[in-house]
Amino acid sequence: MIFLSLLWLFMGLLIGAIARAAQIHPAAWKQHTWVSMLTTGAIAASCGGWIGVLLLGRYFATAMALWVAVAGIVSVCWGVSRISHQ
């Protein structure tokens, strides 16, 4: 499981970096944008992976981590933008 946990963490970092480069980050995150995006990606992917193990088993957990990471980043960025607008 250590390997898979590290894999999901790395996947999350990568997806966070892609999301940052795709300018998905909220305008409120003017400082430490990269760190915030990478952290969000890593946490979302790890959560997705572990939820995947529980729901579908190890074999499909990585695929689950993939979409949960993307969904997590987009949701967090959207949520932060919405809160900062209010």
Residues touching other proteins: how many (CB under 8 A)? 30
Q: How far is the CB of 77 from other proteins (least distance, A)?
A: 11
SS3 call for 39? helix
Q: How far is the CB of 56 from other proteins (least distance, A)?
A: 4
In 36-68, which positions are buried (b, 16+ CB within 10 angstroms) versus exposed (e)?
A: bbbebbbbbbbbbbbebbeeeeeeebbebbbeb
Q: Residue 14 and residue 32: Cα distance in Å, rounded?
A: 16
Which region among 2-10, 28-36, 78-86 touches other proteins (by CB under 8 A)? Answer: 2-10
Residues 20-79 that bind other proteins (CB under 8 A): 21-24, 52-68, 70-71, 74
Residues near other proteins (CB under 8 A) are 3-4, 7, 15, 18-19, 21-24, 52-68, 70-71, 74
